[in-house]
Structure 1
Amino acid sequence: MNKPNLIITGANGLLGQKLVKNLLEKDKFHVIATGRGKCRLPHSWKGYTYCSMDITKAGDVQEVFDQYKPEILIHGAAMTNVDQCESEKGACYLQNVEAIKHLVKACEQHQTYMVHLSTDFIFDGADGPYTEEAKPNPINYYGETKLQAEQIIESSNISWGIARTVLVYGISHDMSRSNIILWVKKSLEEGKTLQLVNDQLRTPTLAEDLAEGCILMAEKKAKGIFNISGKDLLTPYQMAIQTAEFFKLDISKIQKVDSSTFTQVAKRPLKTGFSIEKAKDQLKFKPKSFKEGIAILAKQLNLANC
């Protein structure tokens, strides 16, 4: 029996890698991993197809969809550097909004179910944590483009699910991207003093959990918006303390500050984080705690250093 085709965008990125690995282990779909340029997935992984696809080019998207006629699309590719989005609005719009139009059109033509990745930054942070029904009000350009993408999908004729997430952390196989855990660990090991804000709240999300949530949506072809995030509501300062405690590093080097200490190009919402009751109930989504996430990263670091 032929397995249905499933396309992943952004397959070379952190989430993309976790999606490919998880899907290969489940072996329910033929995975078509796509990204801009060459494949950067581990050479040892077998059983999937990789093809280069620039989602900002309608012709690229059309060609890949026409070739594979996917039953499901998990769309994880995006421009996510919040300050870069603010200073390079044209590029941000192209990747986060214009590309959505190409993907939606292709999904309409091939009756493809789409899981779209969105963000807590569509909210202003005045009243978090948020449910799926909360009213968006972005305060930076990244959030604006992600909200526009949601609206394009919601007003389309395709079958869709939107997975909103928060502060994703994890380790990619090529260690190309850092995160708060790795940064705190490395900085404290080097004897540096760190300043972390204690007035921003998030529900940090392990990349493996986010991938599992997206796949649960894909398997059920779940319709509507789902909050897919971690379950612990924490400040960056609290995340740093938990990290230092786990690795038995010097907590006294971590200083508590507020957001006004830092000048950033784009505004950040203060209090976001998500209620994940809907995903737990309807998808049986079971995310790890932040402490469990640290332990998973520590194990992966040890394996990478072997």
Structure 2
Amino acid sequence: MKVLITGSNGLLGQHLLPLFIQDERYEVIAVGRGVNRLPSQHGYTYESVNLRNAVSAQQLLEKHQPDVIIHAAAMTQVDECERNKDACWDTNVAATRYLIQAAEKHNAFFIFLSTDFIFDGLEGPYREDDHPNPLSYYGASKVAAERMVKNCKVPWAIVRTVLVYGTAFDMQRSNIISWVKNNLQQGKKIKVVDDQWRTPTLVQDLATGCKLVADKRSNGVFHISGKEMLSPYDMAIQTANFFKLDVRLIEKVNAKTFVQPAKRPAKTGFVIDKAVQELGYEPHSFAEGLEIVGKEMG
């Protein structure tokens, strides 16, 4: 059975690949932009493809004819999406459309990665059937892509997630744990909001959730995240304490302190009962996630 994973150079992609490579049932095709940045080049086939081109997407699927597609590639920088809406639409919506059209010719099971930012944050935590109302262009692009997935002619699943953290090789962007750790180690003061709430997700948990969906061929929408509702300030304090860094360098502020191009929802987070019951999904606590990330950081 062939699984094709887009966004293989990214944080989630780097954790998805080993899970599938270790499973002898799967032949793995990794798809990224530019060169393969993964430390291991064995056990899978790598393709550098511009998915924003319809012909490239068609040729990719004609060549490999996958049974499962996990579409993790996306433009996820919320402010950058607000500043560069054309690039956001091309990456998050048009590329998804081209992949779906190609998947329909081969009847591939299509798994699409989405986000808590499709919600307005007024009624969190959210269930799978709650109504989207995005505040940002990033969120709107994901709603548009989700709509196409739901209307496609192949079996599909949508995996939504929240504030993913973890480590990866040659990461282009930091996440909250590495950002807090790096700044405090340098003795820098940081301002962290305490009036936004999320259910942060360890990247290994998200990868496991995606594989459970693929293994079980589970159709529909699944919320895959951590269980605990935490503010970024809560996460920063736990991170500082874990790495034995000075919590006095962390200043508690509200979201109005920051002027950002994209509006953020105040309280998202997910109810994950469906994933627990139907998939057997069981996430780590944030404290356990810190232990895992801490070991990976050395």
TM-score, structure 1 normalization: 0.96
Residue 45 of structure 1 deviates from its aligned partner by: 4.4
- State the match for 2:166 in structure 1: 170
Residue 132 (structure 1) aligned with residue 133 (structure 2): no
Residue 34 (structure 1) aligned with residue 26 (structure 2): no
- State the match for 1:10 in structure 2: 7
Q: How does 1:208-247 map to 2 (within 5 A)?
A: 208-247=204-243
What is the CA–CA distance in structure 1 between the aligned matches of 2:173 and 2:258, rounded to whole Å? 22
| AA aligned opposite 2:248 | S
Query: Any idea what SS the aligned residue of 1:51 has?
Result: strand
Paired residue total: 298
| AA aligned opposite 1:180 | I
Query: Any idea what SS the aligned residue of 1:8 has?
Result: strand
| AA aligned opposite 1:39 | N
What is the CA–CA distance in structure 2 between the aligned matches of 1:53 and 1:233, rounded to whole Å? 37
- State the match for 1:301 in structure 2: 297
Residue 93 (structure 1) aligned with residue 89 (structure 2): yes
- State the match for 1:74 in structure 2: 70
Deviates more, 1:99-108 or 1:19-28: 19-28
Residue 177 of structure 1 deviates from its aligned partner by: 2.6
Q: 2:202 aligns with which of 203, 206, 214?
A: 206
* Contact 1:171-1:177 at 8 Å conserved across structures: no
* Contact 1:9-1:74 at 8 Å conserved across structures: yes
What is the CA–CA distance in structure 1 between the aligned matches of 2:89 and 2:41, rounded to whole Å? 33
What is the CA–CA distance in structure 1 between the aligned matches of 2:243 and 2:155, rounded to whole Å? 45
| AA aligned opposite 2:162 | V
| AA aligned opposite 1:25 | Q
* Contact 2:11-2:171 at 8 Å conserved across structures: no
Residue 27 of structure 1 deviates from its aligned partner by: 2.8
- State the match for 1:113 in structure 2: 109
Q: Structure 2: 5+ residue runs without aligned partners?
A: none
| AA aligned opposite 1:36 | R
| AA aligned opposite 1:267 | K
Q: 2:19 aligns with which of 10, 18, 22?
A: 22
| AA aligned opposite 1:70 | P
Residue 57 (structure 1) aligned with residue 53 (structure 2): yes
Q: Structure 1: 5+ residue runs without aligned partners?
A: none
Relative to structure 1, the CA distance from residue 175 to residue 156 in structure 2 (aligned partners, 3 Å threshold; closer, same or farther) is closer
Q: Write out per-residue CA displacement over residues 21-78 of structure 1, whole angstroms, 9 at most, x where no aligned residue.
A: 1111223210000011111111x34211111111101111111101111000000000
Aligned-residue identity in percent: 51
- State the match for 1:47 in structure 2: 43
What is the CA–CA distance in structure 1 between the aligned matches of 2:187 and 2:169, rounded to whole Å? 27
- State the match for 1:256 in structure 2: 252
What is the CA–CA distance in structure 2 between the aligned matches of 1:195 and 1:52, rounded to whole Å? 39
Residue 193 of structure 1 deviates from its aligned partner by: 1.4
TM-score, structure 2 normalization: 0.98
Runs (4+) off by over 6 Å: none
What is the CA–CA distance in structure 2 between the aligned matches of 1:227 and 1:121, rounded to whole Å? 13
Residue 186 of structure 1 deviates from its aligned partner by: 1.2
- State the match for 1:192 in structure 2: 188
* Contact 2:4-2:68 at 8 Å conserved across structures: yes
* Contact 2:158-2:221 at 8 Å conserved across structures: yes
| AA aligned opposite 1:5 | K
| AA aligned opposite 1:233 | M
What is the CA–CA distance in structure 2 between the aligned matches of 1:92 and 1:58, rounded to whole Å? 16
Residue 183 (structure 1) aligned with residue 187 (structure 2): no
Q: State the superposition RMSD in angstroms.
A: 0.9
